[in-house]
Amino acid sequence: MKTRILSRNFLFALSPLALGLAAAGCGGDSGSSPAPVSIAAPTGVGAADTAPVQDPATVLPFVDYAYTNQRGYAQHATVATNAGVRVVSGFLDLWTPSSLLVDAGQSAPAVGSFPAITPSTWTGIPGSASDGHIVNSSVLAANIAFVVTETTARTADQATAAYLDDRRNKGYSVTDGLGPLTAAWRTAARQTTAITSVAADATTVLYNDTGNNLGVGSAAGNTTFGSVVDFVGFPPNASTEPAKRFFKYARPFRWSSAVVVVPALVPAESATPATDSGFISGHAAEAMRDAIGMAYVLPERYQEMLARGLELGENRIIAGMHSPLDVIAGRMQAQALVAAALVAQASKSTPTPGSADGTTPAGTSVVNDLRATAYTQAHTALMAAAGTTTEAAFRAFAHSGTSATDRFADHAANAANYLRRLTYGFGPIGDTTRPAVVPKGAEILLETRLPYLSADQRRVVLKSTALPSGYPVMDDAEGWGRLNLFAAADGYGNFNGDVSVTMDASLGGFSAEDSWRNDIAGAGMLTFGGTGTLHLSGHNTYSGGTTINGGTVQADSVTALGTGDVYQAAGTFVCAATNGPVVDGGNYLELAGATLQLSMSGSVGGMLSVTRTAKIAGALNVAFANGYKPAVGDTLLVLSAHAISGQFSQVTVQGFKATATYSGQGVTLHLDSAA
């Protein structure tokens, strides 16, 4: 018999009982199998993980106090009374401003017990008598040195990108993160820009974009996309000026003459440094607010938009206009502000401050909930523009670009760049063992990207993908600085508790099909059910096991299942790894009515290898992928285990009629003839 697909060396490597498998592959006894074995369902750790909101009496939630991010009000002029300042107040561990008030070029009348604010004497020039005080010289020196390195090594293309991201409206700039959907979005939003290139002569460079930034809203007559424009531009009290005027930390080119500002931007340098603080970056914050808003209504490009938002922040460093810490703080505040806006819409009310003179008390105002309307408008308009009628086809179109046409086509590169831009190479300076905490309301940022998870589960996802503690500025009390939204969009980072997921394919979008690409660790168990499809593609080591009660779980990597048992009570389990067998690190039980589906990409790619015992009673479907084309007469090893009992109730092989052969350690299929 011809056995050109099986390799004797591979069989020995796959199982210590390879000789028995090889014999079975050559026509062994098709009717023998060991006595039935008992395999129980996994039990995991017995409880779900949690990420509780911190006590609001001791940690004031940003989402409840976002309205305090204002200047010109004595009652919002301190760290304690201004949420926009407080969220990035970790900078005080590095730098003490000349006064601890929002007062750079700013005055405000007294309100009740809050004394009047008079403008500070800070000149904006480092080293002046009115300057602040360096607390951590090594970190702040590294902060400026990073800018020196970036600006002296930048290429012409980087200089052009930095110029455009400086002068062009941020809402227009970040839409190129939409890849194949960029032109359609700009057309639907009616976005315009006056800045499309950089003139060689700096004297003729455009410095003010007369375009319309986000586009035309509903009030101006955009009936098909106006709510999207309204939604992205919604966050109130989003200015970075209160923080700038509190921290009073100069821009990098004022700290060091070695910083080389993009020549075309030199005329744009402010002539009033006392009101031109570098910390925090307004451009970086605005870009990230816009990017998150767009990602919310178009989650098919969620990670790409996040990546574009942080790219614009890095371009502020390359331009010489901001330091890494400025940009990091802009990202932190942006995340908090968008979450606060979404929470306000969800509750249909937002807190409002009292008047500056104290005559009008604080209260609440009704907020129009744009979330569903904007989401629907975005998909209706862009699906039509893409010529797609199903959400699956639309998602495919959204990722149809190549590296030549879509800067963000490479997911791995996006993930690496995003992680790098979260810290810019700074090492921890504080306690690295603090557990992750999740801010109140932060889970709403994942609402459309992980719609099949509960709010509590999305909080756990954020906790499980958060950065370690100890980095400069990022250890705020609520946890905004440690959020990694890009990683969170790839699902759980660990199962420190048991995770139960039910997907409803009838809802479409990510509720019908999603991929978890993180490397999932932990002792917890995954239980999956419903009608949707969940892909697992990380290097997973979770040990609590996997239970499939319905829908489809697809293993796209050899280690997708972790190290625990797999218990398939119903539904479909797909093995689709291309570089080897999918490894079940424990036992495998397939009950009657369930289906094991193999998408084979070669002699071993896509088969199932069970480390311990396999018990089978359901169906087996075998298909071929990635150009793999076996021939009549070939023998395929489809399942191996230390011990196997039972037989498949039905065997279907794409394009062939086949005979299954069962041994105590393996199942092979002989391709008898073409179907």
Helix/strand/coil (H/E/C) assignment for every residue in 192-256: CCCCCCCCCCHHHCCCCCCCCCCCCCHHHCCCCCHHHHHHHCCCCCCCCHHHHHHHCCCCHHHHC
Q: CA 38, 44, 48 angle in degrees (round to 5)?
A: 150
Closest-CA residue to 275 (of 71, 571, 137, 433) = 71
Q: In sequence order, what are the beta bridge partners of 529? A: 502
Per-residue pLDDT, 368? 86
- For residue 460, being part of any structural domain is answered with no
Percentage of residues of the chain with pLDDT beyond 90: 87
What the block records as the tokens of 421 is 């831009």
pLDDT at 27 > cutoff 70? no
Q: What does the pLDDT average to over 649-655?
A: 98
Q: Which residues contact 400 (CB under 8 A, 6 or more apart)?
A: 180
The secondary structure of residue 117, as a DSSP letter, is B
- For residue 124, being part of any structural domain is answered with no
Domain co-membership, 507 together with 420: no
Domain co-membership, 414 together with 503: no
pLDDT tens readout for residues 395-417: 999 999 999 999 999 999 999 99
Per-residue pLDDT, 200? 52
pLDDT tens readout for residues 462-494: 999 999 999 999 999 999 999 999 999 999 999
What the block records as the tokens of 31 is 């009717």
- For residue 500, being part of any structural domain is answered with yes
Domain co-membership, 423 together with 517: no
Write down which residue in 376, 409, 430 finishes a domain: 430
CA distances from 369 to 63, 348, 389, 595 (A): 16, 6, 27, 43
Domain co-membership, 269 together with 334: yes
Domain co-membership, 29 together with 89: no
- For residue 335, being part of any structural domain is answered with yes
pLDDT tens readout for residues 345-397: 999 877 776 655 444 556 778 888 999 999 999 999 999 999 999 999 999 99
Domain co-membership, 27 together with 84: no
Domain co-membership, 512 together with 420: no
- For residue 20, being part of any structural domain is answered with yes
Range of the domain at 397: 77-104+129-430
Q: How confident is the prediction for the chain on average, in pLDDT?
A: 92
In angstroms, the CA 625 to CA 621 distance is 13
Write down which residue in 430, 448, 466 finishes a domain: 430
Per-residue pLDDT, 354? 62
- State phi, psi for 331 to the nearest 5 degrees: -65, -45
Domain co-membership, 202 together with 312: yes
* Number of compact structural domains in the chain: 2
DSSP labels, 606-651: T-EEEEEEEEE-SEEEEEE-TT----TT-EEEEEEEEEEEE--SEE
Write down which residue in 380, 395, 430 finishes a domain: 430
